[in-house]
Amino acid sequence: MDKHLNSKTDSPCIRQCTLNDQDVCLGCFRLINEITDWTYASEPERRTILSHAEQRKTLYNKNLIQADKQ
């Protein structure tokens, strides 16, 4: 049996919770509703949340780099 089927995806929370104007945590890059829904989210939902958070983080960092160049 594949052990990954029974594993739970860990929360990406790094305990640096600060929400921006769009209610995105600048620590883990989840939306506030994704944070509150995490406990009850299924594994596929958690993977989707993590994917969206990673996309937000990439965009955030890209915008920081562009702002530094100006």
> Backbone phi, then psi, for 25, in 5-degree steps?
-70, 130
pTM: 0.81
Pairwise pLDDT comparison (21 vs 66), residue with the higher score: 21
Question: Phi then psi for 5, rounded to 5 degrees?
Answer: -65, -30
* Selection from 52, 55, 59, 21 nearest residue 34 by Cα: 52
Using CA atoms, how far apart are residues 33 and 42, in angstroms rounded to an integer? 15
Give the pLDDT confidence score for residue 2 in this predicted structure. 37
Residue 46 in tokens = 């958690």
Whether the pLDDT of residue 6 is over 60: the answer is no
